[in-house]
């Protein structure tokens, strides 16, 4: 039986490629492209690479390495998470890769002319049977729309004359890629980079890229804000469900399970950071993550959580009474934090200094604690409010930025708190009251937008919601 000409032609084309680098057919599309309908477009990453190139001086080159694979124990690795800068410039979620960005067009041999090259791991059907499909060179050209993509194993032989450049920009090489890992592809890439730049070590700069990426990443594009809204909305849904479901006698880890179930249920890939669910005395521990205590009747639970969606992370904190109502003392402290937070949010205006929300919140807290006699001098506010009020939000929960004037498109948190651990130098009736309220704020040309407003933060709203039945009950 003769094959139709089309299938015969297709057979010839496929077999003209090596087994590892056949063109990606529909059934071979890597999962991240097959199932996601709201991935950032390739043009987004290309625009970011060009923005870096625009900020580089003449006759310079920038080199970016993917994150290493990190071992959890024995033959089990941690779930892979790409370096945020590498992802911001490529969209690649795979390890063992290096991106080279040139300021000016480069010519290699008679055929290759490019301003950028992505070296990435080759396709290997046997490995993909275990760990999932890789992009490979053809996938990178097709889906990431890189100008040039080459198998990482060819980096050693690649004619990259780094010593001809005036400046070589590179982030610090990951220290946990140990020389003992001789079979690790990333280690080999770093080793070859070091060999290629050995005679040009005085031209290497580990600083400039940090300020360039901080400048670019601190202001979010419309596409990024869409993903942040999704991550924040998922997080708010989890906070709302927790308010409905929380009861005395629950374990902190049960509250964590509720939160992270709703992350996954609503499409988040991961928590953006270890979930903080601290009750009672643990509400006064800022980054408490043990989450094993049983909630007492009079405990407050500080729920500091954030879903990560397509790389972008939310960060929303609510303080919830285990029994559904706040005590008199808890209400007083809570309302001080709420007043301070609102003052901080009101200061999130275009042109204001980055630290203005912190100054506004601190002024409220110090004055109110003085009035209550919890402190006797304003500077002692640091005993009970010991952290900053704001940080940037984006690909990292504590995202990079220049901490200059607030500008439209920036997303920051406003998260004042008061923490009075047992044994504090004040009336014992205040002991073990820890309150933090945190929202994610978009800086606009006018009033700030509270992206996390969906999660109630007023006492009467929280208490009313806690009377409702949770979905999981």
Answer whether 119's CB lies under 8 Å from 189's CB.
yes
Instruction: Given the residues 35, 37, 54, 75, select the one marked as catalytic.
Output: 75
Q: Is 81 a catalytic residue?
A: no
Coil/strand/helix, residue 448: coil
Q: Is 339 a catalytic residue?
A: no
Q: Which of 93, 229, 318, 391 is catalytic?
A: 391
Q: Which of 315, 356, 399, 440 is catalytic?
A: 315
Would you say 122 and 138 are in contact if contact means Cβ atoms under 8 Å apart? no
Tokens of 124: 């290997």
User: Contact 312/227 with Cβ under 8 angstroms?
Assistant: yes
Look at the block and give the residue holding tokens 């009035």. Answer: 371
Q: Cβ contacts of residue 190 below 8 Å, gap of 6+?
A: 65, 173, 174, 177
Q: Is 54 designated active site? A: no
Q: Which two tokens stand for residue 369?
A: 């604690």
Q: Do strands 167-170 and 60-65 pair parallel, antiparallel, or not at all (unpaired)?
A: parallel
Rounded Cα distance, 257 and 254, in Å:
5
Would residue 233 show up in a list of annotated catalytic residues for this protein?
no
Give the SS3 label for residue 457. coil
| Farthest CA pair distance, the chain | 95
Query: In angstroms, how far is CA 115 from the centroid of its own chain?
Result: 28
Q: Is 107 one of the catalytic residues?
A: no
Query: Exactly one of 83, 224, 237, 438 is catalytic; which is it?
Result: 438
Catalytic residue among 299, 304, 356, 399: 304
Of the candidates 398, 422, 427, 468, the residue annotated as catalytic is 398
- Distance from C-alpha of 45 to C-alpha of 31, rounded to nearest angstrom: 19
Indicate which residue of 77, 387, 403, 463 is catalytic. 387
Asked if residues 207 and 171 have their Cβ atoms less than 8 Å apart, the reply is: no
Instruction: Answer yes or no: 83 catalytic.
Output: no
- Nearest to residue 451, comparing CAs of 229, 227, 219? 229
User: If you count them, how many residues does the chain have?
Assistant: 473
387 assigned to active site: yes
Beta strand pairing call for 316-321 and 300-305: antiparallel
> Contact at 8 Å (CB) between 426 and 293?
no
Which one from 143, 309, 419, 440 is the annotated catalytic residue?
419
CA distance 310 to 71: 23
Q: Please indicate whether residue 304 is annotated as part of the active site.
A: yes
Asked if 52 and 95 touch (Cβ cutoff 8 Å), the reply is no
Catalytic residue (one of 415, 439, 440, 457): 415
For 25, counting Cβ atoms within 10 Å of its Cβ (0-12 exposed, 13-18 middle, 19+ buried), the class is: exposed
Annotation marks residue 436 as catalytic: yes
Strand partners, 150: 119
- Residues marked active site are found at 75, 287, 304, 315, 387, 391, 398, 415, 419, 436, 438
């Amino acid at each position: 039986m003769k094959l139709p000409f089309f299938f015969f032609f297709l057979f010839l084309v496929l077999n003209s490629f090596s087994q590892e680098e056949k063109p990606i057919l529909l059934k071979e599309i890597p999962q991240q492209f097959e199932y996601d309908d709201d991935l950032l477009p390739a043009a987004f990453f290309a625009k970011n690479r060009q923005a870096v190139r625009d900020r580089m001086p003449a006759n310079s080159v920038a080199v970016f390495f993917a994150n290493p694979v990190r071992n959890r124990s024995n033959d089990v690795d941690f779930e892979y998470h790409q370096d945020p800068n590498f992802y911001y410039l490529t969209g690649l979620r795979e390890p063992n890769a290096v991106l080279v960005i040139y300021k000016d067009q480069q010519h290699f041999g008679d055929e290759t002319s490019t301003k950028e090259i992505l070296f990435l791991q080759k396709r290997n059907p046997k490995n993909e049977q275990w760990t999932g499909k890789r992009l490979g060179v053809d996938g990178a050209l097709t889906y990431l729309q890189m100008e040039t993509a080459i198998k990482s194993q060819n980096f050693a032989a690649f004619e990259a004359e780094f010593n001809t450049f005036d400046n070589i920009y590179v982030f610090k090489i990951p220290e946990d890629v140990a020389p003992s890992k001789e079979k690790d592809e990333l280690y080999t890439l770093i080793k070859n980079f070091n060999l290629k730049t050995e005679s040009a070590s005085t031209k290497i700069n580990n600083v400039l890229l940090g300020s360039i990426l901080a400048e670019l990443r601190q202001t979010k594009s419309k596409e990024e804000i869409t993903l942040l809204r999704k991550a924040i909305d998922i997080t708010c849904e989890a906070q709302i469900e927790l308010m409905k479901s929380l009861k005395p006698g629950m374990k902190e880890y049960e509250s964590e399970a509720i939160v992270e179930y709703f992350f996954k249920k609503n499409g988040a890939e991961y928590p953006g950071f270890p979930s903080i669910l601290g009750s009672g005395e643990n509400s006064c521990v800022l980054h408490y993550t043990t989450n094993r205590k049983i909630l007492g009747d009079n405990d407050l639970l500080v729920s500091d959580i954030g879903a990560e969606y397509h790389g972008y992370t939310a960060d929303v904190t609510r303080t919830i009474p285990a029994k559904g109502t706040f005590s008199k003392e808890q209400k007083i402290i809570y309302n001080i934090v709420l007043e301070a937070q609102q003052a901080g949010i009101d200061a999130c205006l275009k042109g204001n200094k980055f630290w203005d929300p912190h100054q506004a919140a601190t002024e409220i807290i110090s004055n109110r604690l003085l009035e209550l006699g919890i402190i006797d001098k304003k500077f002692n506010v640091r005993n009970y409010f010991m952290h900053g009020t704001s940080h940037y939000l984006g690909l990292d929960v504590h995202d990079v930025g220049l901490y200059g004037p607030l500008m439209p498109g920036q997303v920051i948190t406003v998260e004042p708190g008061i923490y009075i651990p047992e044994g504090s130098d004040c009336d014992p009736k205040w002991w073990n009251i820890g309150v933090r309220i945190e929202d994610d704020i978009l800086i606009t040309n006018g009033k700030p937008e509270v992206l996390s407003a969906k999660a109630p933060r007023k006492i009467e709203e929280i208490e009313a919601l806690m009377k409702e039945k949770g979905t999981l009950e």
